[in-house]
């Protein structure tokens, strides 16, 4: 059987377990080749004070040109954290060049969390991210990102199912046919995702155990395991469920190290089981 192939477009944060250091092992663990297009090199992700940042924007076009000349193809194009407006535009261009009939474009529109944009981003960012979302088949924003993308006010908790449906519907107007909202909760015990397939009109909710701690990089763990499962061939809502279960397991494996939350989750401990179950 032909091996599936994904390309992960993301930064390398040397410490802090997010972006490529998470995407590569998780996607590879399901037997999928994971090509990488590194967008920047950081000593640690941006929540670490004093991080260094080496911009690799100038490398994106030459790498794409080389791949294009060679006729390289991908089953999945998956992008996460992008460090500048120019990078977002280059990824738009990359998609236009490399999206074939059988390619799925998964965009995690990384913008912020807890109602705020991440360090380094300004209010122009969400506008450009909207254009990138228009080229996606699937987008996976959290509630903060959904608010910035739709221009609606951020509602952290205590929202209704109606509100979530409205958000999903508005997000689908950006262009992607399938939307997954992450970090959705309706009570103190459960946390999960809300999925909307605008082609079938179907809404699906999947909730896992809610663990009261905050670890960095869990959004990337979720999106990478979703991209891995979807590329593997699991259908949309099932892949979202697989990613939710995996992320909960990773958080549970890390919960005793709450004070180290900048360092991300111990997803490595959970990979053998993930692999055994879904590869």
Burial of 233 (0-12, 13-18, 19+ CB in 10 A): exposed
Is 278 near ligand PXL (CB under 6 A)?
Answer: no
- The residue from 9, 26, 42, 64 that contacts ligand PXL (CB under 6 A) is 42
* Minimum distance from residue 122 beta carbon to ligand PXL (Å): 15
Question: Could you tell me if 246 and 1 are in contact, meaning their C-beta atoms sit under 8 angstroms apart?
Answer: no
Total number of residues shown for the chain: 279
Question: Could you tell me if 11 and 258 are in contact, meaning their C-beta atoms sit under 8 angstroms apart?
Answer: no
Is 21 near ligand PXL (CB under 6 A)?
Answer: no
Is 229 near ligand PXL (CB under 6 A)?
Answer: no
- The residue from 4, 45, 135, 249 that contacts ligand PXL (CB under 6 A) is 45
| Residues from 116 through 155 that contact ligand PXL (CB under 6 A) | 118
- Name which of 53 and 163 has its Cβ closer to ligand PXL: 53
Strand order in the sheet with 76-79: 53-55, 33-42, 5-13, 76-79, 104-107, 138-139, 178-184, 190-197, 202-209
Cα-to-chain-centroid distance, residue 182 = 10
Is 19 near ligand PXL (CB under 6 A)?
Answer: yes
Is 110 near ligand PXL (CB under 6 A)?
Answer: yes
Residues that bind ligand PXL (CB under 6 A): 11, 13, 18-19, 42, 45-47, 81, 110, 118, 217, 219-220
């Amino acid at each position: 059987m032909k091996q599936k192939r994904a390309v992960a477009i993301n930064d390398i944060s040397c410490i802090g377990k997010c972006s490529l250091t998470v995407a590569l092992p998780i996607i590879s663990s399901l037997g999928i080749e994971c090509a990488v297009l590194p967008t920047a090199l950081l000593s640690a992700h941006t929540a670490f004070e004093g991080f260094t940042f080496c911009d690799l924007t100038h490398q994106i076009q030459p790498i794409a040109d080389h791949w294009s000349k060679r006729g390289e193809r991908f089953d999945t194009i998956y992008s996460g954290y992008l460090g500048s407006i120019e990078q977002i535009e280059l990824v738009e261009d990359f998609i236009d060049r490399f999206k074939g009939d059988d390619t799925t474009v998964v965009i995690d529109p990384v913008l912020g969390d807890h109602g705020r944009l991440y360090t380094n981003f300004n209010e122009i960012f969400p506008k450009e991210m909207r254009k990138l979302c228009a080229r996606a088949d699937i987008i996976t924003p959290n509630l903060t990102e959904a608010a910035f993308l739709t221009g609606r006010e951020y509602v952290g908790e205590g929202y209704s199912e109606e509100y979530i449906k409205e958000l999903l519907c508005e997000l689908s107007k950006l262009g992607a046919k399938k939307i997954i909202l992450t970090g959705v909760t309706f009570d103190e015990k459960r946390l999960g995702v809300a999925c909307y397939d605008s082609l079938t009109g179907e809404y699906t909710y999947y909730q896992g155990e809610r663990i009261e701690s905050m670890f960095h990089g869990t959004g990337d763990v979720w999106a990478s395991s979703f991209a891995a499962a979807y590329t593997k061939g699991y259908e949309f809502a099932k892949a979202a469920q697989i990613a939710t279960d995996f992320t909960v397991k990773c958080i549970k494996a890390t919960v005793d190290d709450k004070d180290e939350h900048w360092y991300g989750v111990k997803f490595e401990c959970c990979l053998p089981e993930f692999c055994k179950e879904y590869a």
